[in-house]
Structure 1
Amino acid sequence: MTRTPAYLPIPSSSALAAVHENTPLVQSLTNHVTVELVANVLISAGATPAMVDIVGEAGPFAAIASAVHINIGTPHAEQRQAMLEAARAASEAATPWVLDPVAVGSLPVRTPLAAELLEFCPTIIRGNASEILALAGVGAGGRGVDAADEVEDAEVAARSLARRTGGAVAVSGPVDMIVDQDRTVRISGGHVLLTKITGGGCALGGFMAAFAAVHADPFEAAAAASDVYGQAAERAAHVAAGPGEFRSRLLDSLAALTPEQLRAQETAA
């Protein structure tokens, strides 16, 4: 995996070790298409998932969770209220939380929901370039969940969102770009097979929540999570015959990847 610049703000090995050592409890309110993959990615990475997404439970749980992941992919009415409840509780309890504004832009339900959630200042926002542009109010969104814009097109919008929330924004694509108010890192890696399965990006949002739970700097947590997830995807793709096998191999790769392996690569770089 190559990086620009040739270093990360925190070693990925240290970040992954912290996840393994602390087993963060990550509450995920995610879309029903990807809930199983998100949960299994969290388990494979050493975190504990809790898919608590109903009104009356979402808020109290967010206050005690290590981190919260909110993905608005299939926002039915009760889940929308639960998401707002969880975001409010996370904000009040200083629980780190990740917002994935799936397919925002022209769609009339999720777009105002994302705007409401944004008011609770997510620790990390993760989306594709079109979603980030739309969330910042300077784009119309993509083609459903697919981006219609390039990662670099979203840098100014991502920076404006980071200034607004005080957190980090991760723009996913062939080269992931993570920004906060002052810093930028670009991480190339991963594999195109991530775009051939349902939930590759959604799972990355939950993965970032696990890293945010154990590392106080959102920018550093998002960058390390992107790097580790990309490396696991590369390893999975090397032994997968196609998308179906890649999905299961991704979980195996995340479970097998150790801080020691990453540390050896970092030392050799």
Structure 2
Amino acid sequence: MAKSSATFVCQSCGSTTTKWSGRCDACGEWNSIVEEVPLAAGPATKTLGASKGRSLPLSDLSGHEAPPPRTTSKLDELDRVLGGGLVPASALLVGGDPGIGKSTLLLQAAAAFANAGLKVIYISGEEASAQVRMRAARLGLRDAPVKLATETNLRDILTTLETEKPDLAIIDSIQTMWADNVASAPGSVSQVRASAHELTSFAKRRGTSVILVGHVTKDGQIAGPRVVEHMVDTVLYFEGERGHQFRILRAVKNRFGPADEIGVFEMTGGGLAEVANPSALFLSERG
């Protein structure tokens, strides 16, 4: 029997090679290539076997489909970037530099969707409960009906979501998740890929909307394998300069709306405030 060849994966960009080297040829990062166990072995033959599957129902292109239902957060800048609101059973990926305000934005969004009637669970893998509660108090969200947990074990998180059946689950962040069936460290390409796959599958299977938070690399790409961006329905980038108070939420992919919308926010002492007319603001700065 032929021995399966090893796979070496760059932990920075996700490129794969058949041999180890000290420097990744794709992104140029040093000491980022590690050997990883494949998620599953491929089929022994090119055929699926003798058993037959079911026949798929076919329809015409002229058929009419009702638009998906949406829940608005009343944060107009966020709702517009989402394409009109949050779609049930959707998976979203929100990327941004560490410290840019992703957690603040999503905690405000969690409170807004909870106040709109959704059952919301916020799971933090990076901060302790006390830190999240302090941020909520600073933002004036202490009384928002949002359930909070701090965990990185993916199996425990999925069990909790199966039990609680929330309408929206926010995972902050995907780089901290750890699947015990994957033999690599948290934040590695295999862990990020497996965790995103499990959470996205849960969203589709249970009708829960899932928002995954992701950090970006120095090149401006979401850390981890690019396949994660293909798994989810919507990819948003939260951008800005730390020394400047303005932030831009930009959609780069959206299966339920336009992918060229932006929302503008201002970072204040009480959190992120919407900038309803950014053109007038920037014109006034020029004057």
- TM-score normalized by the length of structure 1: 0.39
More helix by share: 1
